[in-house]
Structure 1
């Protein structure tokens, strides 16, 4: 895209909506036409169903490109640098590569070391796409950070501690967008349909074998329904078959990420007395049986991001307990999404710092053309000029130096 002035950090470039519409249509059609090749690559690390969903999301996002660009308000230009996440590599390539390529001068992405062997051939395939604006740089972190110092925007996806290290090496006036993760809890209130809650929770917890930042790590069930939910969850988890990633349907494959397997296996082993269902571990193959763990007190239950087919379960009596948990220091920092079924005492659009999805999963709420995440500083936040604002993020909305401040509700600013 031509810039308004020379240099890598120009802004206020005029947006050509017709050109954007044309490019997005070309790219979406190209992905659809090459779906067989793309799915073959993706299933080397992802389950068949999640690979299909990822391809569909990538195409849908591109189809919405013009609508998204219309909200850009004519701001653009400069260089965008992205540390690509280690999962959803095609969808992430679209979100953090192709989409900002519509309004920036230059897009540079660096693959994660965890998925380098998949991302490099994926990029070689996507290079055949007409007018692909993305440059993939397989360089050291230090080399890439040097390029980030001349960027208009830096996108970091990964561990919060790594974000803090990277951010300190980039000039303070350059916005750094941090995309992290959260526990995405499910609340099953006294008016819940148990079958609906179990179906939705199992489908979202076991999406891609649990290896997605949108998977829920915790189900909080009202005491009146708790025994029924626990028993049904246990039965469904126990029935999920062990299978390869290429098999369609709800299956339990070996985990792709060895570090995620190690962390989850350690967590299950440390809490073995809390197992309701599952708990099997096969270290040589990185396979972990779908597992439900029962914790006695909500206030003391703060599971890590498990990135595996492991679900924690606990009970509550009053909605005030759930509200207090979501407003606790730990959850306030990592608030992302919360699903609320059958609990009229939790109607707020934002609970603590978590976006309330209502009776739907975080996967249902996610939309590639709309801001992603919650208001927890570890989940999604913009760092710039020595300050931070936590809020759902969309690259096109954050483009330019002074994005509208109205996207952060006063009740959810960073403490």
Structure 2
């Protein structure tokens, strides 16, 4: 597996895949470590999380540079991502003990049912490249706190990140086998899910990958959490602060070069302010500086690979063939997988087209006649991960919260994940939740203990 710098096209490193025997040995280590880690005091688990937070903070520059080299995000955004991991480790270290308090329920027949949260075993995480540290940390932090152990199948192009995450565990003296980065390809995942030594699986990725993993987990009767992305709506109503909405709509499409599951992709703007929004939005997107991700003045680096750029180009061509108009979005010459920020207008309200998740710095812009039309456009696709709504009208806000089909809604701000709050979607954006106490409990056994 090769790591390629998407800013230059140059090879960074080659990583050797594990053999079947090495995978088997890793599963044995995970099983042996779980047998002892599950019995540790909560204080020992939270202390390890605090130590991990310190390690990530102390090595933030080195960690961030690897992410920039392997998948092209700007160095400043990579540093923010590492800091977010630090926050997640600290959050579960501080709040974890309270999350593990089960409580007691009185029974009408007499006595009580005491509730106890217990770990379930090794959890396999199949993770993507777009936020290579954060996607893993939001599984790893609750995994450690719960008393489980983690196995990581990271994306092939960010194996350097996976290796550094395992190195951080070693630096803080974590038990061998508590977290293992497995350099494997997708073809090896099914056998690991089927293995009796693995208790559950979590995946962040494409709909096809989610369907495959869900089928494999279903055959093995194992718990699975899926976060499968989507084409999130970003709805702007006449009462909104238009300048603030435009600014955040730009960030939504250029953050991580548009390679984010929950940043708005479909800008749905009320007809009364559509022209004003488009004028300001086009000007702001044209001003985005694309270039060297290590340059502090750069707003947006390359896409993660040449293959990803081709995918975005094909999506643009498909929409233009259907009648859409592209403003900006030009492919840049020279080495590197660069593309300028752009806007697609006049996109047909065809669910198949609107449901395209453009994983790049291209926005789709739609005109809505009224709030009912805006909600109808938002819900017309088979996905429902996040959403962002812009209004100062309380009645409109209540409608959006109730009627927009999504796992998350941000009001007058761009949606962003946080360690404290549950993260996940509905419809074909997946099921289950990460983060917060609910993410912790997804991979725990809630045992009822009946007492007289």
Same fold (TM over 0.5): yes
- Cα gap change, 1:140 to 1:39, in 2 (>3 Å): closer
Query: Please, which of 81, 87, 90 is the counterpart of residue 60 of structure 1?
Result: 87
Distance in 2 between the 1:297 and 1:223 partners?
Answer: 16
Query: Please, which of 57, 60, 70 is the counterpart of residue 98 of structure 2?
Result: 70
Q: Could you tell which deviates more after superposition, 42-51 or 123-132?
A: 123-132
Maintained 8 Å contact 2:56/2:86: yes
1:273-292 alignment runs, 5 A limit? 274-275=324-325, 277-282=327-332, 285-292=336-343
Which residue pairs with 1:338 in the alignment? 387
Which residue pairs with 1:43 in the alignment? 68
Q: SS at 2:375's partner residue?
A: helix
Q: Could you tell which deviates more after superposition, 284-293 or 71-80?
A: 71-80
Which residue pairs with 1:180 in the alignment? 228
Distance in 2 between the 1:7 and 1:37 partners?
Answer: 31
Which residue pairs with 1:269 in the alignment? 317
Maintained 8 Å contact 2:118/2:446: no
**Structure (1 or 2) with the larger CA radius of gyration:** 2
- Cα gap change, 1:42 to 1:296, in 2 (>3 Å): closer
Which residue pairs with 2:370 in the alignment? 318
Q: CA deviation at 1:199?
A: 0.7
Maintained 8 Å contact 2:384/2:429: yes
1:158 aligns with 2:209: no
Q: SS at 2:87's partner residue?
A: helix
- Cα gap change, 1:120 to 1:395, in 2 (>3 Å): same
Distance in 2 between the 1:56 and 1:27 partners?
Answer: 12
Maintained 8 Å contact 2:60/2:83: no
Which stretches in structure 1 are left out of the alignment for 5+ residues? 1-5, 383-390, 405-415
- Cα gap change, 1:106 to 1:252, in 2 (>3 Å): closer
- More contact order relative to length (CA 8 Å, sep ≥ 6): 2
Q: CA deviation at 1:293?
A: 1.0
Query: Please, which of 406, 414, 426 is the counterpart of residue 361 of structure 1?
Result: 414
Which residue pairs with 1:302 in the alignment? 354
- Cα gap change, 1:323 to 1:172, in 2 (>3 Å): farther
Give structure 1 regions of 4+ aligned residues with deviation exceeding 6 angstroms. 6-10
Q: Could you tell which deviates more after superposition, 121-130 or 175-184?
A: 121-130
Which stretches in structure 2 are left out of the alignment for 5+ residues? 1-30, 103-116
Q: SS at 1:39's partner residue?
A: helix
TM-score (norm 2): 0.77
TM-score (norm 1): 0.83
Q: Could you tell which deviates more after superposition, 189-198 or 243-252?
A: 243-252
Distance in 2 between the 1:336 and 1:161 partners?
Answer: 16
Distance in 1 between the 2:336 and 2:447 partners?
Answer: 47
Which residue pairs with 1:25 in the alignment? 50
**C-alpha RMSD of the superposition:** 2.9
Distance in 1 between the 2:152 and 2:249 partners?
Answer: 33
